[in-house]
A = this chain, B = another copy of it.
Amino acid sequence: MIVISGFSGAGKGTLMKRLLSDYDEFALSVSMTSRQMREGEVDGREYFFVSKEEFETAIKEGKLLEHAEYCGNYYGTPKEYVEKKLKEGKNVILEIEVQGAMQIRKKFPEALLLYVTPPSIAELERRLKARGTETDEVIKRRLTQARTEVDYVDDYDYLVINDNLDECVKEMYGIICASSFEIKRQNALIKDLQEELSKLKF
């Protein structure tokens, strides 16, 4: 299970699309939300859209791996889809906010947590403005959010700089491969070696 978070404007969406198209072994988790569906969105593609009541029932019934409230709406990760894809041998990517990421960290200590940032905040601001679709008010809100989020970055495993897209995709893939050799993911092998050694008769 791979969690990807990052400042709004860091380019997570594009990165994720490239990871999924360049490599075969990934599946993207689709979140559930209680917010209104927007024009152009498709239920089950951008999100699974449900009512506030349905979302609260899902929480109560333990059907979510993590959830958070944001601007008065619920967002969460349905357990069933993730478990299905993991069983199929896929690495499941969760693109979620820091609150949700911390819940995943607690429940699944072996999950890999990546944070994506532009090379600097000046560059983040430039990218948000370059979109041309965001009001000054929205840009301000996103930067204020970044100021809160930055204190959680320490709790992630890796920090990736999205400067050049091609390089960043390769780096992320490299990190995902390398992370399987981290000591905390090698407990089974270490235990096997210890057992074999303890059985030697001298």
Residues of chain A having any CB pair with chain B under 8 Å: 117, 120-122, 140, 143-144, 146-147, 150-151, 153-154, 156-161, 171, 174-175, 177-179, 181-183, 186, 189-190, 192-194, 196-198, 200, 202
Question: Contacts A174-B174, A178-B179, A181-B159 known; A192 to B153 CB distance under 8 Å?
Answer: no
B197–A147 CB distance below 8 A: yes
CA distance A157 to B179 in the complex (A): 10
B121–A197 CB distance below 8 A: yes
Question: Contacts A193-B120, A200-B121 known; A158 to B181 CB distance under 8 Å?
Answer: yes
Contact of A178 (CB < 8 Å), options: B121, B146, B177, B193: B177
Which residues from B are CB-within-8-Å of A182? 157-158
CA distance A102 to B175 in the complex (A): 25
Can you show 18 pairs from A to B with CB atoms below 8 A apart?
A120-B192, A120-B193, A121-B200, A140-B202, A143-B197, A143-B202, A147-B200, A150-B194, A151-B194, A153-B183, A154-B183, A158-B178, A158-B181, A158-B182, A159-B181, A160-B181, A171-B181, A175-B178
CA distance A120 to B190 in the complex (A): 10
